[in-house]
Amino acid sequence: MVETWQTKPSELADVPASNRRDSYRMSILKVFAGFVPWIVFSFVAERTGPGAVATAGFLAFLVAAVFIVHSLLRGEAPKVLEVTGAIAFAGVAIASVLDPAADAFLTAYGQSIATWTLAIVIFVMLPIMPFTEQYARESVPREYWHTPQFRSINRRISAVWGVAIASMAAGHLLSALFSYAEAGTTVPNRPVDLVFDWILPILLSWWAVRYTIKASKAADHAAPPDPGRTTDARSDRTA
């Protein structure tokens, strides 16, 4: 039977607070690295000219594949963001190549489709393996991985990221609807594109990161000190 944080001594007390903060910042950086394929696709897909979506999808797939290979070489399981990105962008690239007539549609809606795919995967994974849990395990002792508290905090954090990503997907959809309202155009409306495809995702990412840091600190403070260490300290004081 696995004990919870409330009933089991916290080994995090053995780790200096500065080191724990550094490990946590690395996890945040890795989460952002998982979004690099989406950023690559956004930059390249908005190019004008034939084949832009296929090129963007292929490049985004390659970036995601590099992250997957890197995880495997380190002996780690590929992250949900990496696998979802590889599948989604490979699908977009293949669809664009097989059906050139779909290029204009995918130019407008490909980013939204890929982002909705990620949001759906995150929500589906919540009861099984919250996607942030993969990153949290890199800085939390193994004995806590299956505790109710660890799963609960990661479900809440992953749910917030899911809401943020779903909101980004909705913003990409609105951008496409406004920008490509004129039939036959493949040039986005720059003010609308700037607001919905860049400013909104940045603000939503900031909100999700803020919540992640706040929730993580709250969970860390909720973990009690090691009773053995407390007893030893009292013995030293009374000696």
State whether residue 187 is helix, strand or coil: coil
- Locate the domains of the chain by residue range: 11-231
pLDDT tens, residue by residue, 158-189? 999 999 999 999 999 998 888 765 545 555 56
Q: Could you give the CA distance from residue 173 to residue 58 in angstroms, rounded to a whole number? A: 21
Q: What is the mean pLDDT of residues 74-85?
A: 89
Q: Are 143 and 189 in contact (CB under 8 A)?
A: no
Q: What pLDDT, on the 0 to 100 scale, is given for residue 144?
A: 83
Mean pLDDT value across the chain:
78
- What percent of the chain shows pLDDT beyond 90? 33
Q: What pLDDT, on the 0 to 100 scale, is given for residue 105?
A: 83
Residues 6+ away with beta carbon under 8 Å from 81: 31, 34, 35, 118, 131
Is pLDDT above 70 for 20?
Answer: no
- Candidates 107, 121, 119, 96; CA nearest to 175 is 107
Q: What pLDDT, on the 0 to 100 scale, is given for residue 137?
A: 85
What is the C-alpha radius of gyration for the chain, rounded to an integer number of angstroms? 22
Q: What pLDDT, on the 0 to 100 scale, is given for residue 198?
A: 86
pLDDT tens, residue by residue, 90-132? 999 999 888 877 877 888 888 899 899 999 999 999 999 999 8
